[in-house]
Structure 1
Amino acid sequence: MEQPNITYIEHMSGGDKAFEQKLIGIIKAEFPKEKTTYFKNINADNFKEAAENVHKIKHKISILGLEKSYVVAVGYEFNLTEGSSDGKLEFDSILQNITNFLETL
């Protein structure tokens, strides 16, 4: 599985370490809440709401340099809007991968 990184954040910051830390702080604050809300909705079979959660989370997936995972998230979001949870296991694995990475920052 591809590994998250902060390369995009570093590129956006132009070397401004304070900006990098602020953006990382925002991700670290928002991601766990978004993940919790996603799990609440998917476990209740609220696929439409879960699709909205995935939509928000996929932006963080992109910022963390996870190109393949982003493609998975797009497909999973589409499946959820169609009433299918196909792709759930792979998406959940991506969430765990991000969680583990954020804990190291």
Structure 2
Amino acid sequence: MEEPNESYIKQLSGDNVEFRTKIISVIKKELPEEITAYKDSIKALKFQLAASCVHKLKHKISVLGMEKSYYLAEEFEINLLKQSTNLQVEFETILNTMLQFVDQLS
């Protein structure tokens, strides 16, 4: 399983601690909200909306340096647009890994 990391965040922020803190703050706020929206859409079988949520979450996956997971999310988004939940378990494992990582960021 691929692990999230801060490499891209560090690359973006450089030595600017304030900017790094701002990025992390935004991720900590938005990630749980976006995951909730995704789960609500899946629960309601609104696949188009769920695909839109996955599309938004792909940006967080990318920022957290999870390249392989990004491609899996891309495939899952396409599956949802075809009314298929294939790769849902794998995608939700990625989400849980991201949440655990983000929770420990400061």
Normalised by the size of structure 1, how large is the TM-score?
A: 0.98
User: 1:103 Cα shift?
Assistant: 1.1
Alignment of 1:31-70 (within 5 A): 31-70=31-70
Specify the SS of the correspondent of 2:32.
Answer: helix
Amino acid at match of 1:22: K
The equivalent residue for 1:96 is: 96
Give distance in 2, aligned partners of 1:31 and 1:40: 14
Q: Which runs of 5+ in 2 are unaligned?
A: none
Deviation by residue 1:36-94 (Cα, 9 ceiling, x = unmatched): 01000001111000000000000000000000100000000000011111010000000
Q: Give identity over the alignment, percent.
A: 46
How many residues were matched structurally? 105
The amino acid of 1:103's aligned partner reads D
- Structure 1 residue 85 corresponds to structure 2 residue 60: no
Structure 1: segments with no counterpart, 5+ residues = none
Paired with 1:12 and 1:84, the residues of 2 have a C-alpha distance of 36
Q: What RMSD in Å do the two structures reach over aligned CA positions? A: 0.6
In the superposition, the TM-score normalised over structure 2's length comes to 0.97
The residue type paired with residue 78 of structure 2 is F
Q: How far is 1:15 from its partner?
A: 1.4
